[in-house]
Amino acid sequence: KAGVTQTPRYLIKTRGQQVTLSCSPISGHRSVSWYQQTPGQGLQFLFEYFSETQRNKGNFPGRFSGRQFSNSRSEMNVSTLELGDSALYLCASSMMGQGISEQFFGPGTRLTVL
Amino acid sequence: ELKVEQNPLFLSMQEGKNYTIYCNYSTTSDRLYWYRQDPGKSLESLFVLLSNGAVKQEGRLMASLDTKARLSTLHITAAVHDLSATYFCAVDSYTGANSKLTFGKGITLSVRP
């Protein structure tokens, strides 16, 4: 069974630009959650999508948004990038939801903002 | 707001010895997860603990959950170098189907000969 895939794996952007990251969950999984990982703040929950609906949201500014498609693939978008957005962005998929069933993480997208 | 604390944040272990690391959390929950992360890599699921008194074992690692004490422990038996990594616990604060995981800061384990 193929795992969670994320593209691109690495990204370099400059301040003020916007970026879109993509996540393909494990086949049959309907929930996709996104996390930001930084050395200072650790792992922080961004949002969760289930059946194309945002089910839960963390404490991030509106510049961070996401969506989920009918095939469960998900994208997250960050607009007006700031230096502090440099991080590893992880997505995780699960069958029923991030707490209800086990989550499987993708390899991450490492975003560097210059 | 749910707070998850892991301690210690760094642990240097000697090969062959036993150790225990801890995960404390601040509100009622009976869903706790342990993950492992190697440097530069993603998170690997280790244990899923979904009830009070749950105990899971895999190889040299054993995890348990005490929901009354709001505490999970990860016990390491006869540490080996391959266990060097960062270990995260995550607690689910859920109401109905609305679920949200809060992660601890992680404990970095280093096994020395």
Residue B82: φ, ψ to 5°: -60, -15
Query: Average pLDDT, stretch A74-83?
Result: 98
- B43 and A90 within 8 Å at the Cβ level: the answer is yes
pLDDT exceeds cutoff 70 at A9? yes
CA distance A56 to chain B (A): 7
List the single residue in B with minimal CA-CA distance to A42.
Answer: B105
DSSP category for residue B81 = G
- B42 and A105 within 8 Å at the Cβ level: the answer is yes
> Which pLDDT does position B96 carry in this prediction?
67
Give the DSSP per-residue string, A20-47: EEEEEPPTT--EEEEEEEETTTEEEEEE
To the nearest whole number, what is the mean pLDDT of chain A? 93
> Which pLDDT does position B97 carry in this prediction?
64
**pLDDT 10s digits, B85-108:** 999 999 988 776 667 789 999 999
pLDDT exceeds cutoff 90 at A112? yes
Residue by residue, what is the 3-state secondary structure of B50-77? CCCCCEEEECCEEEEEECCCCEEEEEEC
**pLDDT 10s digits, B2-57:** 899 998 899 999 999 999 999 999 988 888 999 999 998 899 999 999 888 899 99
CA distance A45 to chain B (A): 7
Residue B75, classified by CB atoms within 10 Å of its CB into exposed (0-12), middle (13-18) or buried (19+), is middle
**What is the C-alpha to C-alpha distance for residues A75 and A20, in angstroms, rounded to an integer?**
7
Locate B5 and state its tokens: 């604390």
Share of chain B above pLDDT 70, in %: 97
End-to-end Cα spacing for chain A: 37
**pLDDT 10s digits, B72-83:** 999 999 999 999
- B101 and A106 within 8 Å at the Cβ level: the answer is no
pLDDT exceeds cutoff 80 at A104? yes
* CB proximity A102 to B under 8 Å: yes
> Which pLDDT does position B27 carry in this prediction?
87
